[in-house]
């Protein structure tokens, strides 16, 4: 009889454990721990906010192989020279590894070289692009490292435009490469090139034209894939950057030294799309629930704030509004500063973003520039990095 009672108690305990509500943090930890990837380093980042949804050794410096070419491509796109003709030098012609089989003295439009760079990973194209955009290969490497600093790639060093293992000082991290891809994907031309499955380019030396199919199999394997870049060297092993968009959620996956990168990326994307929604927390327009009579119905934010959240996290959101105390001479509107406060968007105890609060402006009359918006977001990311 006693054994029967004990058995009933154990059964009751097991059922209770199954149906009892779990805290949101416990559920998030369980989800994260259940995610495994073959890669030595990996990151899943959300495009809009830069929030890291999954990471594994994300800040560990590693060789990156041909995903280096993301930087080469975005610098070429931003150069404003895409329609210029590039003459292939002997140095470009002699570059080892994957190739477009360009000939010395051959001329090709810079835009076509960028397609060949991204789709077929042409190392000869990388050097030709570098020499044309940077004036020399060495000059272009300086531009690469300057851009890396601008973006916030603090654990990255470039020594060439293609990713070959020619020096030990060419490296990056999964996190830094996600930052780079996030930056590059904000450029419509780059995004179009990175997501192209096939590109044709004229060939002045033969009776046939070039036709390049993209090596990035994610464009075929994964329904929501939008682009990316493959990489491999004997020292770096397999590296891969890929992007995907489902509904309004855009994700970036990076894996370094992965034995099963295609499946790694599909698993990462499936996890992100299943567990996260891009949530609009603050709309552009009048800030509501302002009690101060001086500010009520007179203050706005100019940019909406969106952030990827799990359903559990949505219950932890709150917004803190801080406004400058009105001064006596503010009875004259010209004395009121344009920016009169700040909204702090909080997830639990953490600040996940801010928005300036403006007085007496119509949302349509002023928008922050892309650079201001990018800077604010970048500063926010640095803050998030401090919290892990």
- Residues marked active site are found at 66, 69, 121
Q: Which residue in 126, 116, 121 sits closest to 210, CA to CA?
A: 116
Q: Which two three-digit tokens encode residue 282?
A: 């603050």
Cα distance between residue 254 and residue 174, in whole Å = 6
95 contact partners, CB below 8 Å, separation of at least 6: 123, 124, 126, 127, 162, 164
Cα 257 to chain centroid, rounded: 19
Evaluate whether 102 touches 203 at the Cβ level (below 8 Å): no
Output Rg (C-alpha) for the chain, integer angstroms.
25
Q: Where are the beta strands (DSSP E) in 12-92?
A: 41-46, 52-56, 85-87
Integer Cα distance of 297 and 252 in angstroms: 39
For residue 99, the number of C-alpha atoms closer than 13 Å in the C-beta half-sphere is: 11
Within 10 A of 165 (CB to CB), how many other CB atoms are there?
14
Phi-psi region of 97 (alpha: psi -120 to 50; beta: other; left: phi over 0): left
């Amino acid at each position: 009889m006693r054994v029967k009672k004990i058995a009933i108690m154990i059964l009751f305990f097991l059922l209770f454990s199954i149906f009892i509500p779990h805290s949101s943090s416990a559920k998030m930890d369980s989800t994260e721990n259940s995610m495994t990837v073959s890669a030595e380093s990996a990151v899943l980042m959300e495009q809009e906010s830069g929030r890291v949804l999954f990471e594994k050794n994300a800040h560990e410096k590693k060789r990156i192989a041909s995903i280096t070419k993301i930087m080469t491509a975005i610098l070429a796109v931003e150069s404003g020279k895409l329609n210029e003709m590039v003459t292939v030098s002997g140095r470009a012609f002699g570059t080892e590894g994957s190739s477009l089989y360009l000939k010395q003295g051959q001329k090709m439009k810079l835009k076509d070289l960028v397609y060949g760079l991204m789709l077929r990973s042409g190392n000869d194209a990388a050097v030709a692009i570098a020499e044309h955009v940077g004036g020399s290969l060495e000059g272009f490497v300086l531009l690469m490292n300057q851009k890396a600093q601008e973006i916030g790639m603090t654990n990255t060093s470039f020594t060439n435009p293609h990713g070959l293992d020619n020096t030990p000082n060419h490296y990056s991290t999964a996190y830094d490469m996600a930052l780079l891809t996030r930056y590059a994907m904000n450029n419509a031309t780059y995004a179009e090139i990175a997501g192209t499955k096939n590109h044709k380019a004229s060939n002045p030396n033969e009776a046939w034209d070039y036709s390049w199919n993209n090596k990035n199999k994610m464009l075929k394997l994964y329904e929501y894939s939008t682009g990316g870049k493959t990489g491999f060297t004997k020292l770096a092993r397999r590296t891969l950057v890929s992007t995907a968009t489902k509904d309004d959620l855009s994700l970036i996956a990076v894996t370094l030294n992965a034995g099963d990168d295609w499946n790694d990326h599909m698993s990462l994307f499936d996890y992100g799309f299943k567990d996260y929604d891009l949530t609009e927390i603050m709309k552009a327009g009048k800030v509501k629930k302002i009690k101060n009579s001086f500010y009520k119905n007179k203050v706005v934010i100019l940019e909406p704030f969106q952030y990827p959240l799990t359903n559990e996290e949505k219950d932890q959101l709150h917004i803190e509004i801080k406004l400058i105390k009105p001064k006596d001479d503010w009875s004259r509107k010209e004395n009121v500063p344009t920016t009169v406060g700040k909204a702090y968007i909080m997830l639990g105890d953490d600040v996940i973003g801010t928005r300036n609060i403006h007085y007496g402006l119509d949302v349509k009359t002023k928008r922050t520039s892309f650079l201001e918006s990018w800077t604010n977001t970048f500063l926010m990311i640095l803050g998030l990095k401090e919290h892990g």
